[in-house]
Amino acid sequence: MRSKKAKKRIIQPDPIYKSKIVERMINILMMHGKKSIARTIVYDAIDSLAEDKKEAIKMFEGAVKNVMPVQEVRSRRVGGATYQVPMPLKHDRSEALALRWIAKAARGKSGRPMQDRLADELKNAYQGTGDAIKKREDTHRMADANRAFAHFARY
């Protein structure tokens, strides 16, 4: 049996856009504790999405919303066999996966500065294309393929 459940950390909104989701993106992009560099990258990427600040943040949130998965598969061991069981996702987990996939897709490209790669990935996600959207589609396809094992899910 598991011990205590981990406490949820409360994230303070970022200073410029006053948005928690932007701060989460900064935290995901941050490497080796260099938060100021991660902030610069994220803010430059958001600024390059649109001229207007409000429109840019709307595009960023829309891109994240487009990438957010509805369900995923989890491994469950039943009677000696391991099944991939589709499970619905809570909003926080879904958002975390979306941000992670966007960051990974941007890191996967090369040859240009990170803020340009991130901006491109966000634009693609907003339009419903790109590597992060493909990852979400693959996740949904996997969950649909394993729908037969949905009765193993415990809620």
How does pLDDT run across 61-91, given as a tens digit for each residue?
Answer: 999 999 999 999 999 888 899 989 999 999 9
Instruction: Give me the chain's average pLDDT, please.
Output: 93
Report the candidate in 121, 151, 148, 114 with the shortest Cα–Cα distance to residue 34.
114
Task: Show the domains of the chain with their CATH numbers.
Answer: 20-152 (1.10.455.10)
How does pLDDT run across 117-148, given as a tens digit for each residue?
Answer: 999 999 999 999 999 999 999 999 999 999 88
pLDDT band at residue 1 under the 50/70/90 scheme: low
44: left (phi over 0), alpha (psi -120 to 50) or beta: alpha
**pTM of the predicted protein model:** 0.91
The span from the CA of 92 to the CA of 50, in Å, is 26
Residues 24 and 10: beta-carbon distance below 8 Å:
no
